[in-house]
Structure 1
Amino acid sequence: MARGARLYPAVAAGGFRRYATYGTATAAGVFTNTVFGFVLAYTYVALWDERPGLGGYDQAQALTFVWVSQSLLAAGALIGGGFQEEMQERIRTGDIAVDLYRPADLQLWWLAADLGRAGFQLLGRGVVPLLAGALAFRLALPADPVRWLLFAVSVLFALLVSFGVRYLLGLAAFWLMDGAGINLVAVVATVFFSGMLLPLTVFPGGFGEFVRVLPWAAMIQVPLDVLMGVHAGAGSAVRALGFQSAWALVLLGAGRLLQSAATRKVVVQGG
Structure 2
Amino acid sequence: MRAATISPYLRLFTAGFREQAAYRLAMFGGLVANLTFGFLKVAMLFATVRAAGGTVQGYDVGTMSAYIWVSQGLLGSVNLNGRLDLADRIKNGDVAIDFLRPVNVQLATITTEVGKAVFALIPRGLPSLGIGALVIGMTMPTSPVPYALGLTSVVIGITVSFATVYLVAVAGFWLIETRGIQIVYMVLSGFFAGLFVPITLFPGWLLIIAEATPCPSIMMYPIDILTGRVTGGAAYRLVGVQLAWLAGMLLIGHLLTVAGRRKLEVQGG
Query: TM-score category by the smaller chain?
Result: over 0.9
* Superposition RMSD in Å: 1.7
Distance of 1:149 and 1:27 partners within structure 2: 27
- Unmatched 5+ stretches in structure 2: none
TM-score by length of 1: 0.93
Consecutive aligned runs of 4 or more in structure 1 exceeding 6 Å deviation: 267-271
Residue aligning to 1:255? 253
Equivalent position SS for 1:142: coil
Distance of 2:130 and 2:202 partners within structure 1: 29
Counterparts of residues 227-266 of structure 1 (less than 5 Å) = 227-233=226-232, 235-266=233-264
Q: CA deviation at 1:12?
A: 0.6
Q: CA deviation at 1:3?
A: 2.6
Counterparts of residues 205-220 of structure 1 (less than 5 Å) = 205-220=204-219
Residue aligning to 1:55? 57
Residue aligning to 1:3? 4
Residue aligning to 1:72? 74
- Unmatched 5+ stretches in structure 1: none
Equivalent position SS for 2:57: helix
Distance of 1:254 and 1:56 partners within structure 2: 36
1:222-241 deviation digits (Å, cap 9, x = unpaired): 111112323212x2122111
1:142 equivalenced with 2:138 (yes/no) = no
1:57-76 deviation digits (Å, cap 9, x = unpaired): 11111111110001111111
Distance of 1:174 and 1:128 partners within structure 2: 39
User: Is the 2:80–2:161 Cα contact (8 Å) retained in structure 1?
Assistant: yes
Distance of 1:37 and 1:229 partners within structure 2: 20
1:42 equivalenced with 2:40 (yes/no) = no
Counterparts of residues 1-271 of structure 1 (less than 5 Å) = 1-51=2-52, 52-79=54-81, 84=84, 86-233=85-232, 235-266=233-264
- AA paired with 1:226? I
- AA paired with 2:65? L
Q: CA distance change for structure 1 residues 149 and 190 in 2, over 3 Å: closer, same or farther?
A: same
User: Is the 2:49–2:56 Cα contact (8 Å) retained in structure 1?
Assistant: yes
User: Is the 1:94–1:268 Cα contact (8 Å) retained in structure 2?
Assistant: no
**Percent of aligned positions with the same letter in both sequences?**
36
Equivalent position SS for 1:56: coil
